[in-house]
Amino acid sequence: MRTVRDRLRVAYGRPVLRPHRAPIDELVLTVLSQNTNDRNRDVAYFRLREWFPGGWPEVRDAPLERVEEAIKPGGLSKTKSGRIQEMLRAIGDDELGWLERAPLAEARDFLIALPGVGRKTAACVLLFSFGRPDVPVDTHVFRVGGRLGLFRPGAPLEETHNELTRLAAGDPDDAYELHTALLRHGRRTCVARAPQCDECPLRRICPYGRSRVRSAET
């Protein structure tokens, strides 16, 4: 893992973790990011903030159709508006600042129990909002980690979260770097359909990359 990290650090630099301490913003952003790209997600998010200057309580209590209209540029607005309001109702007036100091498992369990929140979203909130060492595994991290053999073959998503979080060993900067480096690598080089193994700094230590080279030679 250290070799993977060091090589990716040379390729992409070392990302800096800057916790923003806005957990509800992060929760809403992750709902908005489902099935869309970052740009559309951001347009939907900023429209929501602009249309509801009273903040999340105003979004929670607004007519559903108005929330739906505000987030339309992000796609799936009917489903997402319902999810956002349901989540905000479950949170109530709690600002969730206590998640910064609660035991990690307790904080995670609380988030996962919210409607529409899974393990990845919970980890995003904990890591990006509070710098807690939980590693989110999205589709890129899952694919790259699997190809590199960081997980047991066929490991379910939950197990991959546990494994990367274990590798981060309680260090928030390592957790952030692990997530960010694998994500960047998955977007730029280790893409889903045609990974660019020839140009990859990890090809010598990657079982998937080595087997591709072998089968190209035979």
Residues that bind ligand SF4 (CB under 6 A): 144, 147-148, 189-190, 195-197, 200, 202-203, 206, 208-209
**Smallest separation (angstroms) from ligand SF4 to the CB of 176:** 20
**Smallest separation (angstroms) from ligand SF4 to the CB of 110:** 35
Which residues 6+ apart lie within 8 Å of 124 measured at CB? 26, 30, 136
The residue at minimum Cβ distance from ligand SF4 is 209
**Smallest separation (angstroms) from ligand SF4 to the CB of 93:** 46
What SS3 state is found at 149? coil
Q: At what angle do helices 157-168 and 139-147 cross, to 10 degrees?
A: 80
Q: HSE (CB half, 13 Å, CA atoms) of 63?
A: 3
Cβ proximity to ligand SF4: between 74 and 145 the closer is 145
**Smallest separation (angstroms) from ligand SF4 to the CB of 135:** 17
Structure tokens at 62: 């607004």
Cβ proximity to ligand SF4: between 31 and 200 the closer is 200
Hunting for tokens 């060993």 — which residue is that? 169
